Amino acid sequence: MHRKPLSLHRGNRGDARTPQRTFGVRGGRATLPAVHWLFTGLLVGVSGATAVYTLWLVRRLFTTAPAPAPVKDEQAEAAS
């Protein structure tokens, strides 16, 4: 008895399917949807913000705060 191989894809196909393209072809050139470019820009922006925030934290970690100004004792000045 011949059985079909198991498949993780929906449908009755037992063979692997090639990925389906969701963008169209115009003039022999593939056009990508605008959402693709929106999320690409978003990814670049978030990556840049993460890098800047990391550098700020490292700078804050390795910088020491200035020493506070010495407090003058009024009684010591009056005695001298």
Of 69 and 44, the one with more pLDDT: 44
Model confidence, pTM: 0.44
62's tokens: 């390795």
Q: Where are the beta strands (DSSP E) in the chain?
A: 25-26, 29-30
6's tokens: 């198991």
Q: 30: which strand partners?
A: 25
Q: pLDDT of 8-51, one tens digit each?
A: 555 555 555 555 555 555 655 666 667 778 899 999 999 999 99
